[in-house]
Amino acid sequence: MNVGNIKLQISKGDITKEATDVIVNSTSNTPPRNGVSHAIATASKLHFEHKLQSADLKFGKILLTGPGKLKCKKIMHVCGHDDLNGIQMATESVLRECIKMSFESVAFPAIGTGSGKLHPSLVARMMTDVIASIAQDFPSGPLQLVCIVVSDRFIFNSFTDALAKRLQEASAASTLNGVSPTPVLQQPLSASVPKGGTAALSCRVENLNVGDYGGIWYRRRGAQRPEYVLVHWASGSIERAKGITERYLPSRDTKTNSYILTISSIVEADTGAYYCAVSHSNQLHFGTGVQLLIPSRQLSAPTVHLYPPPADQLTRDNVTLSCLADGFYPGYVRARWTLDGVEAESELWASAAEAAPAKDGSYSWSGYLTLPAGQWGAHSRFSCQLQHESSPEPIASTIEREACQLQ
């Protein structure tokens, strides 16, 4: 596959046998004991353990060493990340360093697919997007060959399949002219589904046709790291993470331009926050997240109260409006403030970190809008609007400045 002036090659074999100018070592700050890092350390006869321990390889940083007994000119050591953003930074840093040092070829391992436990197809897609971006930024650069070398057959097949699907998506997207805007992925706040029921989690996308791009889903339970669930490729094929059964069925709704994840026969282990994502223009874009829960009581809408600023604030530089809500379940709300019908700038908002539960199982919430005093006098109608699962429309409380009796 040619990406601009760069030839991208997926090879099954031993990366230590490569004769490229650069070999990339995906490692950590600890001495290599297995995997690619151990193989490179053994074959090169280099003792770079102390350098790795003292080097800070996070956030795209590189440790450059000689080749030792390898055929390459240099070894570039990068952090073996277990998240796609880290892999993006590491891949981009290596490619830019190769161009800076006038190297013509580089061999990568499948970063993050070993101890990082990332799905090979997602890593392949991310690395391919980064290579395409670099080829676009440096159309006449010295780098001519990027080789991704894997020894595992499953990972090799996943990489080659993902590359073919990425080509299909790129071909479909090539009909667009100019630079496409950033995708925006919107999800509802929560989905309450009884045990044994079926959940249909939606992810509406703007600025991108969902039929041309794979939809990726992640799940996060509590304070744990998000875990990959599945990807639904533009071709229609599905790749599920280990342990994810066919109860998890992705689809697309072309009328609303949405990705849909349907989960049947809901059990407690299915609950958590689900995030949709799409890879576009060398970046992974995430949705706002929807909380899937098994309800412990009936849904109830929030009662919303908006209060004007105290009278003594009018002589100060800033005034604060207070919005209080209570009696709602489940405990997930999203606020929106408007001034004369126009949404207020988000940096003026503040709210409690989480909705607080009451004895009856319902929740309460408080939010605040701080304005320059002049804006209070320049507007007449102020509104606090809350989105909640219990209502298809925002639940609002509004005050008229002229009608306020400030205390």
Which tens digits make up the pLDDT trace of 15-50? 999 999 999 998 765 555 567 888 888 898 887 766
Length of the chain: 407
Cα gap 186→293, rounded to integer Å: 19
CA separation for the pair 80, 343 (Å, rounded): 43
Over residues 172-196, the pLDDT tens digits come to 554 443 445 789 999 999 999 999 9
Which is nearest to 1 in space by CA: 112, 167, 123? 167
Among 3.40.50.2000, 3.40.50.300, 3.40.50.280, 2.60.40.10, name the CATH number for the domain at 303-403: 2.60.40.10
Q: Which of 32, 35, 88 is nearest to 65 (CA)?
A: 32
β-bridge pairing 238-240 and 227-232: antiparallel
- For 82-116, the pLDDT digits (tens) are 777 788 888 999 999 999 999 999 999 998 887 76
DSSP-derived pairing of the beta strands 227-232 and 215-220:
antiparallel
At residue 326, the pLDDT reads: 92
Do 194 and 208 meet the contact criterion of CB atoms below 8 Å apart?
A: no
Tens of pLDDT, residues 122-147: 888 888 888 888 888 888 889 999 99
Top-confidence residue, 174 or 59: 59
**Angle (deg, nearest 10), helices 153-173 and 120-137:** 50
Residue range 195-230, pLDDT digits in tens: 999 999 999 999 999 998 889 999 999 888 788 899
* Multiple choice CATH, 184-293, 2.170.16.10, 3.40.50.300, 2.60.120.10, 2.60.40.10: 2.60.40.10
Separation of alpha carbons 230 and 228, rounded Å: 6
- CA 171 and chain centroid, separation: 24
265: its two tokens: 């026969």
* Closest by CA position to 319, among listed 201, 404, 231, 204: 404
- Tell me if domain 184-293 and domain 303-403 are identical in fold: yes
Residue among 70, 79, 73 at smallest CA distance from 27: 79
Query: Which pLDDT score, from 0 to 100, does residue 407 have?
Result: 46
Nearest one of 75, 64, 71 to 41, comparing CA atoms: 75
Report the distance separating Cα 116 and Cα 132, nearest Å.
24
What pLDDT shows up at residue 174? 47
The residue type of 39 is: A
CATH number among 3.30.930.10, 3.40.50.300, 3.50.50.60, 3.40.220.10, domain 2-173: 3.40.220.10
**pLDDT recorded at residue 226:** 82
Helical pair 84-100 and 120-137, crossing angle rounded to 10 deg: 40
pLDDT > 70: what percent of the chain?
87
**Burial class for 165, CB neighbours closer than 10 Å (0-12, 13-18, 19+):** buried
3-state secondary structure the chain: CEECCEEEEEEECCHHHCCCCEEEEEECCCCCCCHHHHHHHHHHCCCCHHHHHHCCCCCCCCEEECCCCCCCCEEEEEECCCCHHHHHHHHHHHHHHHHHCCCCEEEECCCCCCCCCCCHHHHHHHHHHHHHHHHHHCCCCCCCEEEEEECCHHHHHHHHHHHHHHHHHHHHHCCCCCCCCCCEEECCCEEECCCCCCEEEEEEEECCCHHHCCEEEEEECCCCCCEEEEEECCCCCEEECCCCCCCEEEEEECCCCEEEEEECCCCHHHCEEEEEEEEECCEEEECCCEEEECCCCCCECCEEEEECCCHHHHHCCEEEEEEEEEEEECCCCEEEEEECCEECCHHHEEECCCCEECCCCCEEEEEEEEEEHHHHHHCCEEEEEEEECCEEEEEEEEEEHHHCCCC
Q: How far apart are CA 221 and CA 314, in angstroms?
A: 45
Q: What is the Cα–Cα distance from 38 to 100, expressed in whole angstroms?
A: 28
Estimate to the nearest angstrom the gap between the alpha carbon of 280 and the chain centroid: 11
Residue 280 CA to residue 170 CA, distance in Å, equals 10
Lowest-pLDDT range, 192-206, 274-288, 351-365?
Answer: 351-365
Q: Return the domain boundaries, the chain.
A: 2-173, 184-293, 303-403
